[in-house]
């Protein structure tokens, strides 16, 4: 979960830094990280398959 994989490991200096790191995490989570619920595909890949 985001709580286990992002927030518990996160260190940041201010709100701007937090927002930057959150945007990086969301990109990684949706475009690079395979998900078991999508049979090893990323959410982006799963969405593309549904739209084609």
Instruction: Write the CB contacts of 17 (distance below 8 Å, at least 6 apart in sequence).
Output: none
- What residue has token string 């260190």? 11
- Name the nearest CA neighbour of 30 among 4, 11, 2: 2
pLDDT score recorded for residue 39: 96
Task: Measure Cα distances from 47 to 11, 14, 40 in Å.
Answer: 31, 33, 13
Q: Which two tokens stand for residue 10?
A: 């996160």
Give kind and range of the element (H or E) at residue 14: none
pLDDT score recorded for residue 5: 83
pLDDT score recorded for residue 32: 98
pLDDT score recorded for residue 9: 87
- For residues 2 and 17, which has the higher predicted lDDT (pLDDT)? 17
pLDDT-derived band at 49 (thresholds 50, 70, 90) equals: very high
pTM of the prediction? 0.78
């Amino acid at each position: 979960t985001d709580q286990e994989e992002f927030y518990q490991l996160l260190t940041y200096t201010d709100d701007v830094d937090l927002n930057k790191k959150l945007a990086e995490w969301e990109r990684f989570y949706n475009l690079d990280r395979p998900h078991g619920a999508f049979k090893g595909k990323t959410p982006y890949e799963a969405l593309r398959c549904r739209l084609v």
